[in-house]
Amino acid sequence: MHVVAVLALDGVSAFDLAIPCQVFAIPRAPDGTPAYEVRVCVDRDMAATAGPTTPFRISSSYGWEEALGADTVIVPGIPAELTPDPRAVAILREAAAGGARIASICTGAFALAHAGLLEGRRATTHWRFADALAERFPGTVVDPSVLYVDEGRVLTSAGIAAGLDLCLHLVRRDHGAAVAAGTARVLVMPPQRTGGQAQFIEYRAPETDSADLSATLDWMRGKLGEPLTLADIAAHAMMSRRSLARHFRAQTGTTPLRWLLAQRVQRARELLETTGLPMARVAEATGFGSVETLRHHFARQVGTTPSAYRAAFRA
């Protein structure tokens, strides 16, 4: 049985703590037995104190050290400004070195960063703390616009409820789309939420009037199969590149080229789900040019290959 250790550190978010306990309790193996064993691991010397809005303390029959025997270790959110206990940091390093899959929910990413597990990797956290994570750990490539980031053996999720998306993604990786969909159905949520964290980020209005980019966004969607440069987009919006970047981030939460890439991947998903087009035609229709480029960007954003996605989701 796959063992999931939830490493509860001092100040742990109660909601984040409950997410993996709930999600991984649902999936079943083909013979009907539980697919996962979940262990909440707490410091034996002092039960973890939950966050300031949660009036209780947490105790468990499992200590931090028992996370070392787990296949997956998940760190729920903790106060971003706190430095994790060095013993917990050492356990994360040892678990990762031993081959365990390490994941974080929300600000749990800070614990992973303290353990050096995000160095040179792409990661995310709650959008309110993304700048702090990037500033304190400059070796980490922080993407505040996504719901989760899958770097193989190390995964991070965005704010709070995005932990559900991450845990469902792990179920999908372990047991396939059908089991993940069944788990999502019990949780009363979609198997994969569309969009990213950017839709929830609060952005300050630009100091000058912000031109409406809706016409340019529609134009870009209509030209996904064509090579578009930043100069092309700026020309359509009748702005300088600098003004375009400022207005684009204010309205979409990302850069023009990142937004275009996300739209191309989304269009590829639609074509894979609804058509039998050869993979080369899908790559051409979505502006990737080659199947290799399509595979690369698709895997980074969706977490699987285009072929596997089509096999799982084509009606």
Three-state helix/strand/coil letters over the chain: CEEEEEEECCCECHHHHHHHHHHCCCCECCCCCECEEEEEEECCCCCEEECCCCCCEECCCEEHHHHHHCCEEEECCCCCCCCCCHHHHHHHHHHHHCCCEEEECHHHHHHHHHCCCCCCCEECCCHHHHHHHHHHCCCCEECCCCCEEECCCEEEECCCCHHHHHHHHHHHHHHCHHHHHHHHHHHCCCCCCCCCHHHHCCCCCCCCCCCCCHHHHHHHHCCCCCCCCHHHHHHHHCCCHHHHHHHHHHHHCCCHHHHHHHHHHHHHHHHHHHCCCCHHHHHHHCCCCCHHHHHHHHHHHHCCCHHHHHHHHCC
Strand partners, 72: 4, 101
Q: What pLDDT is attached to residue 48?
A: 53
Closest CA to 244 of 276, 270, 222, 212: 212
pLDDT at 209: 40
Q: CB of 273 within 8 A of CB of 313?
A: yes
Region of 99 (left: φ > 0; alpha: ψ -120 to 50; beta: rest) is: left
Whether 107 and 129 have beta carbons less than 8 Å apart is answered as yes
CA atoms within 13 A on the CB side of 210: 16
Q: What pLDDT is attached to residue 295?
A: 93
Residue 51 has a pLDDT of 55
Those residues of the chain that have pLDDT short of 70 are 44-55, 193-211, 315
C-beta separation of 207 from 190 below 8 A: no
